[in-house]
Structure 1
Amino acid sequence: MLTQADLKIELDALASPTKAITLSRFFKTGKGEYGEGDRFLGITVPEQRLLAKKFISLSFNEIEKLLKTDIHEYRLTALLILTYQYPKADTFKREEIFKFYLNHTKWINNWDLVDVTCRQILGVHLLHQNRKILHELARSQNLWEQRIAIVSTLEFIKHQQFADTLEIAIILLNHSHDLIHKAVGWMLREVGKQDRQILVGFLDIYCQQMPRTMLRYAIEHFDEPNRKAYLSKPKN
């Protein structure tokens, strides 16, 4: 039976010190930066995906051991395993994966860890359920839980369900961190791809309250005159 120790051995064998340095800079791991303390081995995401599929049978206990480390690739591969387990699981197991994910947000602590996993687990799980938990995460004081809240709504957007995205965007409208500005703007842009008028209606009310980065992301696919029109409005 494969274990997390076996997975660590295979990941370690793929390590690239040169890539690790580049990734450490890219994911802001310096003192006082959002990824402070995160350590990288320098492994590509496709390589991690292959191993996640190979180790798809790992138990929650084994996955938890991978999550509770400061090695970024151990955590990402652990989370990818969950995203591969979820579609194959029965209803009971899916609920367990959903709860496990929510109980381990402390270790889902960089934007890539959030972005490649939360929709596939939280978004899919909540598509036909009450979404109160996402609104609670949006109101937490944890940057990554807040990003999880908004990015998880991408699954709803793809099913023409926009209310939660817009409500959570309002909760996060005055957030101070650009990682939230970018995530909210990204989700608003996705709403606009599905229904431009919904996005325009939102922007007409809130664009002057939005941080510039959030607004720029939201209107990225607008034509030049419309982009300029929104960006020229003074911020309240």
Structure 2
Amino acid sequence: MWYDGIFESLLALRDEERAPQMSAYMRNQFPFLGIPTGPRKAAYKKFLATAKKEKIVDFDFVDQCFKRDEREFQYAGVDYLLAIQACLGPEDLPKLKQYIQTKSWWDTVDGLDGVVGSIVQRYPECKPILLEWSEADDIWLRRVAIDHQLGFKEKTDTALLEEIIKNNLNQKEFFINKAIGWCLRDFSKTNPDWVRAFLSVHKNDLSNLSIREGSKYV
């Protein structure tokens, strides 16, 4: 397979001393090879450049990444999807949903929300799917729905953003409230008046965390 070299390169960088520290940072939910971000990305940079140039979409590679135990393999899978995101379309959302719900934690999910956001921005007809995700039982699908417009700036669909956040008000889940705060803070750099008004209207239903994060620049 074209990606065998990626796996071999990552395994060759294993650091037994660093691995336990990295695992502890993620609450010991996943084993790690112990590879820092820089060397990890350097190990497969040329492979991703080739995939992006040739517009390769190989979900078998990502499947294999998510089947591996060590977390760095999932990072490689997410980085690959980010690299070829322009090649993905609405038909790929079910596959991305699968990855969001596999070995879920913020470190992979927050990368995947950028991939999902890319699809929604190019195919607005997918917006109802994100609304559906915003009410899912799975907090990670809801987190992606909340944050998928990060970086959209003036292209942000404020009606969609408002409805998604309203579907997640009065929550006790940290990762949901943090996501709300992040998306409000991000959009406040583009439209502080909108964010200020939203915070004012929903102040009694937003968590202190969401308000603190969301009001940082307003």
TM-score by length of 2: 0.85
Cross-structure match for 1:43: 35
Q: CA deviation at 1:97?
A: 4.5
Question: Do the aligned residues in 2 keep the contact of 1:76 with 1:113 (CA within 8 Å)?
Answer: yes
Q: RMSD value over aligned CA atoms?
A: 2.2
Cross-structure match for 1:15: 14
Match of 2:112 among 99, 109, 117: 117
Query: In structure 2, do the counterparts of structure 1 residues 221 and 19 end up closer, same or farther at CA, with 3 Å as the change threshold?
Result: farther
Return the alpha-carbon distance in structure 1 between the equivalents of residues 13 and 167 of structure 2: 41
Q: CA deviation at 1:99?
A: 4.1
Question: Do the aligned residues in 1 keep the contact of 2:149 with 2:156 (CA within 8 Å)?
Answer: no
Q: Which aligned pairs between 1:1-236 and structure 2 lie closer than 5 A? A: 2-3=2-3, 5-29=4-28, 36=29, 38-56=30-48, 57=51, 59-87=58-86, 89=87, 94-95=89-90, 97-107=92-102, 109-119=104-114, 121-127=115-121, 128-130=123-125, 131-157=127-153, 159-222=155-218
Return the alpha-carbon distance in structure 2 between the equivalents of residues 19 and 158 of structure 1: 42
Cross-structure match for 1:33: none
Which structure 1 segments of 5+ residues have no match?
30-35, 223-236
| Structure 2 counterpart SS, 1:210 | coil
Question: Do the aligned residues in 1 keep the contact of 2:97 with 2:141 (CA within 8 Å)?
Answer: no
Query: In structure 2, do the counterparts of structure 1 residues 82 and 72 end up closer, same or farther at CA, with 3 Å as the change threshold?
Result: same
Query: In structure 2, do the counterparts of structure 1 residues 108 and 136 end up closer, same or farther at CA, with 3 Å as the change threshold?
Result: farther
Output the amino acid matched with 1:71. Answer: E
**TM-superposition CA deviations, 1:43-73 (whole Å, max 9, x none):** 2223333334333347211221111233211
Question: Do the aligned residues in 2 keep the contact of 1:53 with 1:84 (CA within 8 Å)?
Answer: no
Query: In structure 2, do the counterparts of structure 1 residues 158 and 72 end up closer, same or farther at CA, with 3 Å as the change threshold?
Result: farther
Identity %, equivalent residues = 23
Output the amino acid matched with 1:218. Answer: G
**TM-superposition CA deviations, 1:25-51 (whole Å, max 9, x none):** 22223xxxxxx3x22222222333333
Per mean C-alpha deviation after superposition, the further-off stretch among 62-71 and 204-213 is: 62-71
Question: Do the aligned residues in 1 keep the contact of 2:66 with 2:74 (CA within 8 Å)?
Answer: yes
Q: CA deviation at 1:154?
A: 1.2
Return the alpha-carbon distance in structure 1 between the equivalents of residues 204 and 132 of structure 2: 25
Cross-structure match for 1:231: none
| Structure 2 counterpart SS, 1:126 | helix
Number of paired residues?
Answer: 209
Which structure 2 segments of 5+ residues have no match?
none
Output the amino acid matched with 2:105. Answer: N
Query: In structure 2, do the counterparts of structure 1 residues 14 and 213 end up closer, same or farther at CA, with 3 Å as the change threshold?
Result: same
Return the alpha-carbon distance in structure 2 between the equivalents of residues 158 and 54 of structure 1: 33
Return the alpha-carbon distance in structure 2 between the equivalents of residues 2 and 96 of structure 1: 24
Question: Do the aligned residues in 2 keep the contact of 1:52 with 1:81 (CA within 8 Å)?
Answer: no
Return the alpha-carbon distance in structure 1 between the equivalents of residues 40 and 85 of structure 2: 17
TM-score by length of 1: 0.79
